[in-house]
Amino acid sequence: MVIFFTLVVCASFAQRHPSFDKDGQPPRDKILVQEYEWRALLPEYGVPNAPSAQTSKAAALKATSFINRLVLSANFHIITLHERALDFCLGLGYQVTPRFLAGGGGSYRNTYGKRTSSFCPELIGYKTFAHYDLLSNFFAYGEFARNSPGRERSIGGESTVVWKNALLTGIGKRMAIRKNIDMTLIVACNILPEYRDAIYPGNLVVRLGFQSNALTFKKSH
């Protein structure tokens, strides 16, 4: 009786889960399904070698060439509406890890409206920046910049270039608008303000810009 019951169970299982096709080979779709289910169970049992999405991105970045890791960005910053001053910043970054990017760039300011004595209408500068991806396309942003409003003459009559330091920290949001092109919005605060600062009249800095994606990772299925 036990042998008969065992044969019935085995026959029923073989009918529902066939192991071989008509050619005597295991069906490919069954193998893929079983492999998918097996890999999905690995993290539940704490298997250290179970691949993760972050591990897949790191492996893809490691196999990427130096050129494909470069990120080109352009940002616009409206300093004040009264003078209609606009800062234009160009940056070139390097994707160090899937989440961390660092680079440098330059900035230029032009004023189209009425100019006041307390505000710097034109300047040039350079900067180093970095940002780290957080969640939902938000990222932490940091920047150290040196800006020059021009030259000034000393008591002896010598003309020297004036440089002002700025340290910006804040948070940004990245939004995909086209393939390999993102729009970025950065809200930062200058933590090195000066009294009656002619370069950054307010501590709050809001920038709108665009950048090229360093990599487009395939979703893991």
Give 123-180 pLDDT, tens digit per residue: 899 999 999 999 889 999 999 999 998 887 777 777 888 888 999 999 999 998 888 8
Residue of 53 and 9 predicted with greater confidence:
53
- Burial per residue of 38-59, b for 16 or more beta-carbon CB atoms within 10 angstroms, e otherwise: eeeeeeeeeeeeeeeeeeebee
The 10 Å Cβ neighbour count of residue 171 is 14
The answer to whether residues 107 and 27 belong to one domain is no
The answer to whether residues 91 and 128 belong to one domain is yes
pLDDT of residue 41: 54
The answer as to whether 184 is a domain residue is: yes
Range of the domain at 41: 20-50
The answer to whether residues 94 and 174 belong to one domain is yes
The answer as to whether 145 is a domain residue is: yes
Evaluate if residue 46 carries a pLDDT over 80. Answer: no
The answer to whether residues 35 and 132 belong to one domain is no
Provide mean pLDDT across the span 33-37.
54
The answer as to whether 13 is a domain residue is: no
pLDDT of residue 147: 92
The answer as to whether 11 is a domain residue is: no
The answer to whether residues 40 and 137 belong to one domain is no
The answer to whether residues 83 and 171 belong to one domain is yes
The answer as to whether 101 is a domain residue is: yes
pLDDT of residue 94: 93
pTM of this structure? 0.66
pLDDT of residue 184: 94
Maximum mean pLDDT: which of 4-8, 14-18, 200-204: 200-204
β-pair partners for 74? 90, 210
Residue 71: CATH number of its domain: 2.40.160.20
Summary mean pLDDT of the chain? 75
The answer to whether residues 106 and 37 belong to one domain is no
Evaluate if residue 67 carries a pLDDT over 50. Answer: yes
Provide mean pLDDT across the span 12-30.
51
Based on the structure, what is the number of domains in the chain?
Answer: 2
pLDDT more than 90, % of the chain: 30
pLDDT of residue 220: 37
The answer to whether residues 101 and 200 belong to one domain is yes
Q: For residue 149, which of 92, 111, 103, 192 has the smallest C-alpha distance? A: 111
The answer to whether residues 122 and 172 belong to one domain is yes
Report the distance separating Cα 95 and Cα 78, nearest Å: 28
